[in-house]
Amino acid sequence: MKFVDEALIDIAAGDGGNGCVSFRHEKYKEFGGPNGGDGGRGGHVYAVADPSLNTLVDFRYARRHEAKRGQHGMGSDMFGAAGDDIVLKMPVGTIIIDAETDQVLYELLVPEEKIMIAKGGDGGFGNMRFKSAINRAPRQKTPGHPGERKSLKLELKVLADVGLLGMPNAGKSTLISAISNARPKIADYPFTTLHPNLGVVRVGPSQSFVVADVPGLIEGASEGAGLGHQFLRHLQRTRLLLHLVDLAPFDESIDPVAQAKAIGSELKKFDPELHAKPRWLVLNKLDMVPEGERSARVKDFVRRLRYKGPVFEISALTREGCETLVQSVYQHIHAVHKRENNPAPLDPRFLPDQS
């Protein structure tokens, strides 16, 4: 299925039913009094985070979603039935935005999370509501209230622990296929990946993390060049970035150092917070470098790039070095999860005096 990460939809909650004007007519009861019931409320529109979905493709072709209106009130003290609610299933990570104001309304971050995104209109009052000591035969009623109507923009940011980034043909798809069960398209030409791919990396029976592979970036991506700019936001929720660099490009005139610097520059232009995320350097395609030249080429690359962080030397094709990379990534993700779930205790010196 083609990955669809944006969609525009129109939603309409149901209108409330109208109140009823009616009077009781029974034998031997000439003035039975009012018995017109209230109208039923309109149906609500809900959004539910469904972990089994990973695309917004259903909303690309079905743009209008409308709940049923409430039933009108009836005589004999009968209230109208409420309109049926509708539930829109969306992938976890969907952001719901007001299309007119660009305001973020909701984010579906927790599986099975259910949010009301449009409220149904309340039902109108029937004439029995207006009965009083001085108004024994009211003929008033009120119409049902209209339901909420909205134009929404849906955006999907994949929820992954690790994001792969790099120039086209850096070997991101080969790496994700080597360390997970994901099977993205792999070919010897750039821009093979046209949509994000997710892969679950199993480290142990209950130990795993999720990797996202996005289309390759080129210089100017933050301004819209190439394909990667459409998917940079998918990296904003990751906890670690793996920057893949092709140490053996087909074209000898290509400088891997210049390409690596360009990637860092594009991240900074797009989102400084994304640029500030932990980013590890992964030097790929070492199988295409003569064994005697590998160490010198790696040292020269790191020196020219002036990179101070962790460096991993791998061959995604032969899987050389991949196990060390996977174990290191898992240890980092596990430590981040632990810090998030168990924050450091507050220093008692800065707590208010309880005496």
**What domains can you pick out in the chain, each with its CATH number?**
6-156 (2.70.210.12), 162-341 (3.40.50.300)
**Could you give the angle at the alpha carbon of 130 between the alpha carbons of 126 and 133, nearest 5°?**
150
pLDDT of residue 24: 86
Residue-level length of the chain = 355
Strands (E), the chain: 6-12, 45-50, 64-66, 86-91, 94-98, 104-107, 114-118, 149-156, 162-165, 197-204, 207-213, 240-246, 279-284, 311-313
Q: Look at the block and give the residue holding tokens 């995320």.
A: 277
- Chain segment 271-317, per-residue pLDDT in tens: 788 788 888 999 988 888 888 888 888 888 888 888 888 889 888 88
**The model's pTM:** 0.61
Could you tell me the CA-to-CA distances from 58 to 6, 54, 234, 340 in Å, in that order? 11, 11, 20, 34
Residue 314, both tokens = 């791998």
CA dihedral in degrees (214, 217, 221, 222; nearest 10)?
60
Mean pLDDT of 70-96: 91
**100-146 tens-digit pLDDT:** 998 999 998 888 999 999 999 999 999 999 998 888 889 999 999 99
